[in-house]
């Protein structure tokens, strides 16, 4: 990993450890204060515990122009961003996409192109609805690897993470502890329940937490929709299309709506926030990825709306192309943070148990 990022984070962590004023904001500080010296692994763990709420920046009496020049949110964001690139498998893909909005757009366009091509080349004569455009088998042939590969990649990434931070064997209690704090984004409340500092300097608001929750639950609902549909297809022999009040549609519609609203709000917030309190060089990549995720939701909703029109084949190719790009990019974009953050939370539960 980049030693200058680590060195800068270490310098700042040592100052915080002598100060400790921010220990009520988030779980970074109790973890930080448990150490006297910070190994690269310690810093990587702290960086992935931080969710960039910026409370500790606006509260800090040592920010520039003070000579200590504290900017812990940025120092940790740089280490975090760098760690995702470093742990990515293959590493080159992490380097190509994490910070690069253009590469993400390019990959998405390639996704569209592939699906348009597939629709043409593998056109079916049989199927109904979407399967008239692309046979179910063709979809599976494209999406099964596109789904399994990221899983494998992330598993490798997490293994690398676990080795770096010196994690212990994981027990069920570690997982449940981590999941409960992720589920309501406890840390995003800023410790006092007023939220975080983001779009309006030192004002505490819940905007970012709500936007993030909309994205997370929106994504999970969409994912559930696809999963349910897959089960219905294979187990119950009930292939698509499904009616408006069927489980896949209800889940998909609500999830897609949440995803679009959440991503839209998140982009709006990011554009207002001070970029110098994050990993500045990753800003473009983050915004673009959020855009892609929102677009997955939006194109899905459009497909619902235009499913019976002549636009359907084009809408289907666009939606599936975006989904394809999204899946394949997951280990190499901001999306990876969800997995590393969970790992960091699990590790933190372990630390608290041990201490």
Partner 1 sequence: MTDTPDIVVIGGGNAALCAAITAAEKGARVLILETAPKPYRGGNSRHTRNFRCMHHGPLGPLVESYTEDEYLADLMKVTGGKTDEQLARLAIRTSEECLPWMEEHGVRFQPSLSGTLSLARTNAFFRGGGKSLVNAYYRTAEQLGVDVLYEAAVTHLELDGDRVARVDYTHEGKAKSLSPKSVVVASGGFQADTDWLARAWGPAAKNFLIRGTPYNRGVVLADLLDQGIAQVGDPTQCHAVAIDGRAPKFDGGIVTRLDCVPFSIVVNKDAQRFYDEGEDVWPKRYAIWGRLVAAQPDQVGYVIIDAKSLNLFMPSVFPPIKADTLAELAKKMGLPADALDKTVAEFNAACGEQSGFHPTELDGVATSGITPPKTNWARPITEPPFYGYSLRTGVTFTYLGLKVDENAQCSIGDRLVSNLWAAGETMAGSILGQGYLAGFGMTIGTVFGRIAGKEAATHAN
The residues that touch partner 1, with contacts defined as CB under 8 A, are: 14-15, 17-25, 30, 33, 36, 55-56, 58-68, 191-192, 194, 202-203
Which of partner 1, ligand SF4, none interacts with 272 (beta carbon under 5 to 8 A by kind)?
Answer: none
Say how far apart CA 284 and CA 91 lie, in whole Å: 20
Question: Reduced to 3 states, what is the DSSP secondary structure of residue 316?
Answer: helix
Q: Which is nearer to ligand SF4, 52 or 330 (CB)?
A: 52
Question: Phi-psi region for residue 195, left (φ > 0), alpha (ψ -120 to 50) or beta?
Answer: left
8, 42, 48, 54: residue in contact with ligand SF4 (rule CB under 6 A): 54
Say how far apart CA 118 and CA 104 lie, in whole Å: 21
| Interface with ligand SF4, residue 122, by CB under 6 A | no
| Interface with ligand SF4, residue 28, by CB under 6 A | yes
44, 45, 48, 52: residue in contact with ligand SF4 (rule CB under 6 A): 52
| Interface with ligand SF4, residue 20, by CB under 6 A | yes
6, 31, 43, 60: residue in contact with ligand SF4 (rule CB under 6 A): 60
Say how far apart CA 282 and CA 102 lie, in whole Å: 12
Residues 200-229 that bind ligand SF4 (CB under 6 A): none
Q: Which is nearer to ligand SF4, 189 or 249 (CB)?
A: 189
Min dist CB 234 to ligand SF4, Å, is 42
Say how far apart CA 154 and CA 162 lie, in whole Å: 12
Say how far apart CA 153 and CA 89 lie, in whole Å: 5
Say how far apart CA 351 and CA 41 lie, in whole Å: 13
Q: Which is nearer to ligand SF4, 22 or 119 (CB)?
A: 22
Which of partner 1, ligand SF4, none interacts with 14 (beta carbon under 5 to 8 A by kind)?
Answer: partner 1
Min dist CB 29 to ligand SF4, Å, is 7
- SS3 assignment for 74-85: HHHHHHHHHHHH
Min dist CB 31 to partner 1, Å, is 12
Question: Reduced to 3 states, what is the DSSP secondary structure of residue 197?
Answer: strand
Say how far apart CA 97 and CA 325 lie, in whole Å: 12
| Interface with ligand SF4, residue 59, by CB under 6 A | yes
H-run or E-run covering 204: strand 204-205
Q: Which is nearer to ligand SF4, 26 or 146 (CB)?
A: 26
Tokens standing for residue 171: 């027990």
Q: Which is nearer to ligand SF4, 45 or 108 (CB)?
A: 45
Which of ligand SF4, partner 1, none interacts with 202 (beta carbon under 5 to 8 A by kind)?
Answer: partner 1
DSSP strand pairing (204-205 vs 196-197): antiparallel
Q: Which is nearer to ligand SF4, 142 or 196 (CB)?
A: 196
What angle is formed at CA 154 by the lines to CA 340 and CA 174, rounded to 5 degrees? 45
Min dist CB 138 to partner 1, Å, is 56
Q: Which is nearer to ligand SF4, 54 or 249 (CB)?
A: 54
Q: Which is nearer to ligand SF4, 21 or 102 (CB)?
A: 21
Tokens standing for residue 41: 């692994």
| Interface with ligand SF4, residue 106, by CB under 6 A | no
Residues 66-95 that bind ligand SF4 (CB under 6 A): 70, 72-73, 76
Say how far apart CA 145 and CA 27 lie, in whole Å: 37
Are 142 and 116 in contact, with CB atoms under 8 Å apart? no
């Amino acid at each position: 990993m980049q030693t200058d990022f680590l060195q800068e984070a270490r310098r700042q962590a040592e100052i915080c450890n002598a100060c400790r004023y921010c220990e009520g904001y988030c779980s970074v500080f109790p973890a930080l204060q448990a150490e006297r010296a910070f190994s690269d692994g310690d810093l990587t763990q702290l960086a992935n515990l931080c969710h960039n709420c910026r409370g500790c920046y606006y509260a800090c009496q040592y920010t520039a122009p003070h000579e200590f020049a504290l900017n812990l949110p940025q120092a940790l964001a740089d280490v975090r961003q760098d760690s995702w690139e470093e742990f990515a498998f293959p590493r080159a893909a992490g380097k190509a996409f994490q910070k690069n909005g253009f590469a993400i757009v390019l990959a998405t366009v390639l996704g569209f192109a592939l699906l348009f091509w597939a629709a043409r080349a593998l056109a079916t004569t049989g199927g109904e609805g979407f399967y008239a455009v692309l046979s179910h088998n063709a979809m599976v042939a494209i999406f099964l690897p596109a789904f399994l590969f990221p899983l494998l990649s992330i598993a490798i990434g997490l293994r690398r993470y676990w080795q770096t931070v010196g994690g212990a064997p994981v027990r069920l209690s570690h997982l449940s502890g981590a999941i409960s704090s992720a589920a309501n984004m406890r840390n995003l409340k800023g410790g006092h329940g007023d939220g975080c500092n983001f779009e309006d300097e030192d004002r505490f608001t819940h905007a970012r937490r709500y936007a993030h929750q909309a994205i997370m639950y929106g994504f999970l609902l969409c994912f559930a929709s696809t999963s349910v549909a897959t089960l219905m297809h294979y187990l119950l022999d009930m292939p698509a299309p499904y009616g408006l009040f069927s489980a896949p549609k209800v889940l998909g519609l609500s999830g897609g709506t949440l995803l679009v609203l959440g991503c839209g709000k998140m982009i709006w917030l990011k554009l207002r926030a001070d970029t110098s309190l994050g990993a500045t060089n990753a800003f473009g990549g983050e915004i673009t990825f959020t855009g892609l995720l929102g677009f997955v939701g939006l194109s899905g909703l459009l497909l619902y709306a235009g499913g019976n029109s002549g636009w359907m084949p084009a809408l289907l190719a666009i939606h599936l192309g975006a989904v394809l790009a999204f899946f394949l990019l997951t280990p190499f974009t901001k999306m990876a943070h969800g997995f590393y953050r969970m790992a960091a939370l699990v590790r933190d539960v372990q630390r608290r148990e041990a201490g």
